[in-house]
Structure 1
Amino acid sequence: MAKMNAETAELTQSGFLGTVPFARTLGVAFDDIDFGRAVMRLADRPEHHDHLASPHAGALFTLAESAAGAVVLGSFGDQLGRAFPVVVSVEARYDRSAVGDVTAEAVLARPREEILAELDEGRNPEIPLDVELRDGGGVVGRVRVTSTLRLQSR
């Protein structure tokens, strides 16, 4: 897949943040975006903390799900006329408490071409995305988000 140009990256970022108010509410921001990959950041803010004074699991979940959603939008935005993305399942593992700012790096875990072939066959393809959550000390958790492209009603 070709590298995402700056204009497409900006459209993906603004489109995502324009349609996901909760991500904006938390202050989730983009660090990097490309076809099949996104890195997003959640700044360390006391209002995001849990009882351990670290980022709340719900905030980390939102960060991970947002990065996965950005990958779907960036990789399949050209299909929005015939299908819309929907999360169908999430599996999260938190390995340790995060400290400070946290990033989520999401990657498409299946070739785009396979997903598009299923969509062309009239199916709602599964889109697996692997997300790593990291703070300054390394990995704090891993999330598997499975989305689909649901065909528009005809």
Structure 2
Amino acid sequence: MSADQMSVGDMLAATVPMVRTLRLEFLETTAERAVLRLPDRSDFHNHVGGPHAGAMFTLAESASGAIVLAAFGDQLHRAVPLAVKAEIGYKKLAMGPVTATATLGRPVAEVVAELDAGERPEFPVSIALTREDGAVTGGMTVVWTLRPSS
């Protein structure tokens, strides 16, 4: 399967070993929203029986990467997406499967216009972490950049 034929989930699973290790499930990947789920597995649990904070961080960061690829995949020939910084907050105990929903903080066209102008644009991605009952267990913001290839 060529890169053009691969889904965002397939591409991330092929290039990011942690996506495969955690068996992340890609429920939706569009330029507007990416939704991933971390299955409930005892080998990913922490000392209180919920998903380990590191697994939830990886879930949220992977959701942010999925939306970046969906939104800016057509720019990969001239720019490399890179995470610049991330901040996460844990609000409630997460038990069972956890879902991460990522949204872009700036319009795609605005970011591409900066790239067109020779700049290195930065943009935030917000991620909500939720349990199956809909309770928000945490949130993360990842700031990404598109580093021009040349």
What band does the TM-score fall into relative to the shorter chain?
A: over 0.9
SS in 1 for 2:43: helix
Aligned-residue offset at 1:109: 1.1
What does residue 143 of structure 2 align with? 146
Calculate the aligned-residue CA RMSD, in Å. 1.4
**Bigger mean CA offset, 13-22 vs 102-111:** 13-22
Say if 1:9 and 1:74, in contact at 8 Å, map to a contact too: no
Alignment pair present for 1:119 and 2:115: yes
SS in 2 for 1:41: strand
Aligned-residue offset at 1:10: 5.4
Aligned-residue offset at 1:146: 0.6
Partners of 2:36 and 2:5 in 1: how far apart? 13
Aligned-residue offset at 1:39: 0.2
Aligned-residue offset at 1:136: 1.8
Runs of 4+ in 1 over 4 A off after TM superposition: none
Correspondent of 1:22 among 13, 18, 39: 18
Partners of 1:61 and 1:127 in 2: how far apart? 19
TM-score by length of 1: 0.91
Alignment pair present for 1:82 and 2:89: no
Number of residue pairs matched by the alignment = 146
What does residue 62 of structure 2 align with? 66
What amino acid does structure 1 have at the position aligned with 2:110?
A: E
Q: Could you list the runs of 5+ residues in structure 1 that have no partner in the other structure?
A: 1-7
Partners of 1:104 and 1:11 in 2: how far apart? 18
SS in 2 for 1:145: strand
The percent of aligned pairs where both chains have the same amino acid is 47
Alignment pair present for 1:51 and 2:47: yes
Partners of 1:131 and 1:92 in 2: how far apart? 9
Alignment pair present for 1:41 and 2:37: yes
Residue 64 to residue 47, structure 1, CA distance change in 2 (3 Å): same
Partners of 1:94 and 1:64 in 2: how far apart? 12
TM-score by length of 2: 0.93
Aligned-residue offset at 1:34: 1.4
Q: Could you list the runs of 5+ residues in structure 2 that have no partner in the other structure?
A: none
